[in-house]
Structure 1
Amino acid sequence: MSFGETRGGEDTSETTLVQPAVPDATQAHPVEPTQAQPTQARPTQIRPVQARLRPAAAGRKLQDRYRLDELLVDRGDTQTWRAYDEKLLRPIVVHLLPANERGNRLLAAARQIACASYDSRVLRVLDASAPADADNPETDNFVVCDFAEGETLEDLLAVGSMRRREAVTFVREVAEALIGMHAQGLYHRALSPALVTLTCEGNVKIAGFLFAAELSPARTPINPEAADVQALGHMLRALGADESSNANLAQASARILDPAHPAPLRTAAQVTAHLTRALNDPPPPPPAGEAERTRAHPTPSVISQEPVDTPWSSPRKGFRWAWVVVPLLVAVIIGTIVAVPLLHNALTGSASTASPGAAASERWSVVAAQDFDPEGNGEERPNQVSRAWDGDPNTSWRTMNYWEAEIGNKTGVGLIFDLGEVRRVSRVELDLDGAGTSLEVRVPATEATTRPPLQGVGQWTVVGQALHAPAATTVTLDAPAGTRFVLVYLTELPRDGSAFTGGIAEARFWS
């Protein structure tokens, strides 16, 4: 379920979606709130007067399109429904909001995330509508969100169906998704295992970004970035990461949650990098006894070893041969420097030549990326996107399997890379998954500084291409482009067994 909320029409606490102030590491789910004591009964609480919602029942339609099917949560002045979009024929989640100041604030938060979110791991806000007659208290606002079918991290923890490594990979995906959102100044502020879903396809989906905190305003974090990062620490602690034999993993939650830790993790990027190292760590060392025997016969260190019989200690040895060998070596090196770019251009079909200022170009960092499949179902292995810019050429984002190199009835599929701000891009270096891929490098046809165009490939302009490229290829743009977003669009895939598939292991962007 998209918002990970309880079924039924019962009234749930407004703090259901919020982290507890002081987590208890001994609890199975430290993010769950404690139950209120009998002396804190709701009837005694003083609440501001709220505009009441119109009586809602299953079957009611909004805008003659969104059909309400099942009430998930009733908070009194807001409701969350599982619903169905009868125009696009897909399940959705609808939030009914009051037509008052609070409802307008919720609507504004929903519209903000709708305009900014483009990471496929963040469930989108699809529609945010105000009533036609704002003076009529019988009308209400509503927000339509994506629906993700699957199990929440909270559910998976409850039944213990995930191995620790799988769960940590799950949390790492969440941390990685936060990087791009935080770069836009957007924060979840109410992140919990109940709001993170693992779909049937193995994709991570984060629900309630920005909006969940507004639905449950009981606790508003002073530092929203710190709140999101600490939520990752709570998740890791709930997974039992503290008890792992992996040293990096065992230290992860402490480095996040302990304010006095000498090496704290304070950003989503730091958490992602730390968890990546933890997942890539080699197995634990051998038992102590075996380790001691290994240290009893240490291997000499090349670094500390003094050089023996170097040219500096015996300058006359081979001196005459140096006059012949050195010029030959210099000629070979110069020939290689000149020949390699020419050979590379011949293989990639690029007519460009190396310029004297190429060595001074600057590499731009990627802050986020997403899959791009506007002519298919909208997704192309989104759970693998991070592999195309994680710095590890041994991991890659791969396309689905296709029965022909030209990708069936599509013009292509690809990845959109976010450079964080407008950059001057002159060339793109790619490590492809398989030789023989044809691709285009595209930039938005119109200025895009906050989000990339997603409606179709026609919104992007081709600025460079490579036909039947080798696994390591460089695409030099026809002219330097000033852009924040770069689309690497695969148009023809190499054969892989009985099917055709391609991919990107690493993408690097240079000025």
Structure 2
Amino acid sequence: MAERSTAAVDVADNSGDEPLTAKADAASTDGMADTQDAEGASSSDAENGRDGSAAVPASPDLHSGHKLARRYRLEECVTRLDGFSSWRAVDEKLRRAVGVHLLPADHPRARSVLAAARSSALLGDPRFVQVLDAVEEGNLVYVVHEWLPDATELTALLAAGPMDAHDAYQLVSQISQAMAAAHREGLAHLRLTPGAVLRSSTGQYRIRGLAVNAALRGITADQPLRTDTEAIGALLYAALTRRWPYESDAYGLSGLPKDLGLIPPDQVRAGVHRGLSELAMRALANDGATASRQEQPCTTPDELAKAVAAMPRILPPEPAFTAPPEYQRTTYQQGTYGRPSARPSSATQPVIAVPPPPLQSRTGKALKWAVSALLIAALGLGSWQLAETVLDRGKDSGEPTPTRTTDSGGDDKNAVEPSKPVSVVRAQDYDPLGADGSEKPASIENVYDGDASSYWTTDGYYSADFGRLKEGVGVVLDLGKVQQVGNVEVSFLGGSTSVELRSTEGSSIPQLPDAFTKITKGTGTKVSLKPDKAVQARYLLVWLTKLPLSDDGNYRGKISDIKVTS
């Protein structure tokens, strides 16, 4: 694409056409200060070949409150320079703030301003502050654009100090991509200064004054692509160093020392990102010279955007950790709890209210007598009622009380049936885990003979757990048939013995103790083994699990009696 020689090349003079209006969603701010325009005016004229010899009419003499097209109400003049003025205004139709550029219709640059504004409005790129209207009305020409109240000028951002590497990377990346898109549509800026770059609250950079700012000042360039690329390089240089990359001061930034020429940003300030420093030097008009190597200069915004994309991505800095405040110990933890205060207490003593004087008048005395009479009457009435109650009780106690008989012959279904003894047909020693399978069978009948002096005893063992030879020994009781068992009472001699009650409904004695069902257990010299609920069984196993120490130094179990009840 051929380069353009003005800010709005190839745009015809459409002064007779209807105004072109482009609606936008956001408001805008112009923000161009008079001082910035004054600072950059002379340098821009010299650099961009502006012709200032032509007579320029004075800017329109308007005041706040003036309305344009019965819609745009002027609020505040922010710039008045070179025959035009810039205002903050209000769009009363859409109720939003807008910016307005005003100049006389006979201004020599009025036609070029209208053409530049209309071509910029057709771009419709959200990275640029949108032109909303471009109108010639009577003896006035005005351009309406967005106003962004929540955006901040790059000038204000740089006033706080240089940017970190991530912010500078985002700046050059977004600006170069936006200008590359504008140049593809045949538009150039030619006045890309820190005042023309805004950063929104979301971190997005937006460019204002595309083609229009240069047309207002009559700025032209033989190489608009190179001019805008160098301007982006200057913005990056300023973001990295907070210095303007020329000898003269501009836009609130100090220029470089004289006679040193253009030096890389990383030599101006320590800690500058090396890749961004080289990128700024490639974009500026220095034939691409860098501090460490010779790179081809970036002569167009598109080349600069590609160079930025080829760089390793610069991540944002990690958030700084804020140390928590020092822990404040309480008075109790500091050891002063309960101690008297070193300073005298300033609290005042509570004032004791003086009770009102008693009733001394005649009315007061009468009231006291009335209350006394009521109390005496209440006491008398209470005494009379108490005496009457006592007399009534005495009369009732002298009368015979009728008795109520119950027929005992009826069936009482709720009566608990008493337990009955269950006869033991025979008993058998049970030692399936022993070597000989037998445990003193000669005296086994003593466990159910009803004689408390006779007993059945186990063999002697070296410990209470049968010398760790087996789990236990026991006695099997044969009830003759399956019967209900409600309780089994076992009496021991020789000391406290641990015992379990197990049962089976089978017709034969199981070979191993685990084949029996465990019912309950207990410990003592007289243990009542009562199931949670009555069980049906023919064979009961009284299984000894822990033996007491006998007089001969061995551990033996002795059962003197076993009683079974239903």
Q: Which has the higher contact order (CA 8 A, sep 6+)?
A: 1
TM-score calculated relative to the size of structure 1? 0.45
Q: Which has the larger radius of gyration?
A: 2
TM-score calculated relative to the size of structure 2? 0.41
